[in-house]
Chain A
């Protein structure tokens, strides 16, 4: 084979490659150099075939790299593959770096890779900012005194902050994968509004909810639930709840304080007015008697003047205790003002009320109050009549008590419609 034939064969091959690409056969020297007789031509063709092999290897090497095969190798002396080997090393290092980032190492940076370096480093910066936000959120949820749960669309607990675990008295492992709704008392209607709001992605608020702790104890809580959306699709619900036991206790205390006399602990006048109105209505409705007893400590000013107000306060307390022990459970006993008291006795007529008053009068008269030893009460009694309003009842009882004072004190006077308007009561 001479040189012109070799050139023709090689040229034909090259034309085919330029026209059709490499196909699956790769880039192969189209001749077997061994078949060439001329020594110089043979050597030349050997060298040329080596170049063809290097080009072919380089193509395969770059193909494998393009497929993501970073383990591919190429012969050391192949200078066509040398730049690609640099790329291969960069990709191998990037693979390691990306794995590090996935494991939480946000200190990775890429250098000397042009635009890729910028993009990668920007991505790291974004991840760092997100990490800061996450850490802030964790601190916020950790220090939050309220309980906070994050549940999926079925109500299954995915996250609970320390406040929630403390209130519920559970470890997270115990409530993970439990339905959060079981921790809250359902409404008396039987419909679980919380479950409904979780599954439908609705807001839920309950100011008077009940939490059931692990021990079974029920705790009053205020509950809120807010849905979370991701790409406009419901992606869970945040439930917060706050222990309102102390708040409830305080409210009860305030309510009690609003209706009780601070010194003696019995009903105050404001509460008594409320009760009186209510009992008048009941008496009208059920047509049952209702009597009112007004009483006043005799010469109480002198007690205060002689023994001092602290002693006077003690008298008031001891008196209310004594009277409370001598009335029925259905009777209402209140401090009307100063040293005046009132007893409302449902289901009792004047006679019965007078007997009750006389009993109390005697108890008081014979009781040792220490400082001073003895005090007395004057009583005025009246009963509800058709057409009565509260004011009239009080006024009549007051008039009767006034008569008791005028007639010598330490006595019971019953209001009557006779000209004298009151009559004394003496038990037999």
Chain B
């Protein structure tokens, strides 16, 4: 029986669905430009917001980011490492994949509350000034990474963004459950 990837009513992402990039792109390689990434993301935002409204769109982007963060953590990161080493591993991967430059400003390992910054963020660095933060997907992504690493529920809220006039995106990441 044939297996359909996207023709079911509900799709559940699996890491293997990303396919074999080296096989698929032997000449162009595994990387593309930030421009194309943002083009896709922002046009998705437009299409979704016209159907569902901007609030629902932002929620969905955050949900998608969380799914991505959890899969990214379990497939790319070493979750057996102690916290500081895990963060170093995450930081190194985000740089090597050109997602952003992650830094920690505060870390309370007992309360599981963190203030993280991401510079040269993939989503927003270089954007013109808006009156709101735009890194909804990143919020979900960071929450997903922390959930997968700790096994506890997390929420991440962007409090500063390039789009709001800062030069680094700042996220408050807290355990919620």
Q: Does A86 touch B at the CB level, under 8 Å? A: yes
What does the 1/0 interface line of B79-117 toward A look like (CB < 8 Å)?
000001100100000010000010111110000000001
Give the distance in Å from the alpha carbon of A92 to the alpha carbon of B170 in the complex: 11
> Within 8 Å CB of A85, what residues of B?
160, 165-168
Say whether A89 contacts B88, CB under 8 Å: no
User: Among the listed B101, B106, B167, which residue makes an inter-chain contact with A112, where contact means beta carbons less than 8 Å apart?
Assistant: B101
Kindly name the residue among B106, B160, B166 whose own CB sees the greatest number of chain A CB atoms within 10 A.
Answer: B166
Say whether A82 contacts B166, CB under 8 Å: yes
> Within 8 Å CB of B166, what residues of A?
76, 82, 85-86, 89
Q: Does A215 touch B at the CB level, under 8 Å? A: no
With A79-B165, A82-B165, A85-B166 given, is the CB distance from A96 to B119 under 8 Å?
no
- We find that the number of chain A residues with CB closer than 8 angstroms to chain B is 24
Say whether A89 contacts B107, CB under 8 Å: no
User: Among the listed B85, B95, B107, B170, which residue makes an inter-chain contact with A96, where contact means beta carbons less than 8 Å apart?
Assistant: B107
Q: Does B164 touch A at the CB level, under 8 Å? A: yes
> Within 8 Å CB of A207, what residues of B?
none
> Within 8 Å CB of A100, what residues of B?
84
Q: Does A187 touch B at the CB level, under 8 Å? A: no
Say whether A107 contacts B88, CB under 8 Å: yes
Shortest Cβ distance from A86 into B: residue: B167
Q: Does B54 touch A at the CB level, under 8 Å? A: no
Q: Does A38 touch B at the CB level, under 8 Å? A: no
Say whether A83 contacts B84, CB under 8 Å: no
Give the distance in Å from the alpha carbon of A86 to the alpha carbon of B104 in the complex: 14
User: Among the listed A75, A89, A109, which residue makes an inter-chain contact with B167, where contact means beta carbons less than 8 Å apart?
Assistant: A89
Q: Does B76 touch A at the CB level, under 8 Å? A: no
With A77-B165, A83-B167, A86-B119 given, is the CB distance from A105 to B84 under 8 Å?
yes
Say whether A89 contacts B119, CB under 8 Å: yes
> Within 8 Å CB of A257, what residues of B?
none
Q: Does A374 touch B at the CB level, under 8 Å? A: no
Kindly name the residue among A93, A105, A107 whose own CB sees the greatest number of chain B CB atoms within 10 A.
Answer: A93
Q: Does A78 touch B at the CB level, under 8 Å? A: yes
Q: Does B47 touch A at the CB level, under 8 Å? A: no
Shortest Cβ distance from A109 into B: residue: B88
Give the distance in Å from the alpha carbon of A96 to the alpha carbon of B105 in the complex: 6
Say whether A89 contacts B85, CB under 8 Å: no
With A76-B165, A79-B165, A112-B101 given, is the CB distance from A89 to B170 under 8 Å?
yes
- Docked complex: B116-151 residues within 8 A CB-CB of A: 117, 119, 129
Give the distance in Å from the alpha carbon of A86 to the alpha carbon of B126 in the complex: 13
> Within 8 Å CB of A81, what residues of B?
165
> Within 8 Å CB of B117, what residues of A?
89, 92-93
> Within 8 Å CB of B119, what residues of A?
86, 89-90, 112
Give the distance in Å from the alpha carbon of A107 to the alpha carbon of B95 in the complex: 17
> Within 8 Å CB of A107, what residues of B?
84-85, 88
Shortest Cβ distance from A92 into B: residue: B105
Give the distance in Å from the alpha carbon of A77 to the alpha carbon of B167 in the complex: 12
A146 to chain B, nearest CB (A): 36
- Docked complex: A74-114 residues within 8 A CB-CB of B: 75-79, 81-83, 85-86, 89-90, 92-93, 95-97, 100, 105, 107-109, 111-112
> Within 8 Å CB of B88, what residues of A?
107-109
Shortest Cβ distance from B169 into A: residue: A89
With A89-B117, A93-B117 given, is the CB distance from A78 to B105 under 8 Å?
no
B6 to chain A, nearest CB (A): 39
Shortest Cβ distance from B120 into A: residue: A112
Say whether A86 contacts B165, CB under 8 Å: no
B175 to chain A, nearest CB (A): 19
A66 to chain B, nearest CB (A): 18
B95 to chain A, nearest CB (A): 7
With A96-B107, A107-B84 given, is the CB distance from A82 to B101 under 8 Å?
no
- Docked complex: A102-131 residues within 8 A CB-CB of B: 105, 107-109, 111-112
Please list the residues of chain A having a beta carbon within 8 angstroms of any beta carbon in chain B: 75-79, 81-83, 85-86, 89-90, 92-93, 95-97, 100, 105, 107-109, 111-112
Please list the residues of chain B having a beta carbon within 8 angstroms of any beta carbon in chain A: 84-85, 88, 95, 101, 103-107, 117, 119, 129, 160, 164-168, 170
- In the complex, given contacts A75-B165, A96-B103, A105-B84, what are 7 additional A-B residue pairs having Cβ atoms less than 8 angstroms apart? A86-B168, A89-B117, A89-B170, A90-B119, A96-B107, A107-B84, A112-B119
19 pairs, A vs B, C-beta closer than 8 Å: A76-B164, A76-B165, A76-B166, A86-B119, A89-B103, A89-B119, A89-B166, A89-B167, A89-B168, A90-B103, A90-B119, A93-B103, A93-B105, A96-B103, A96-B105, A96-B106, A100-B84, A107-B84, A111-B95
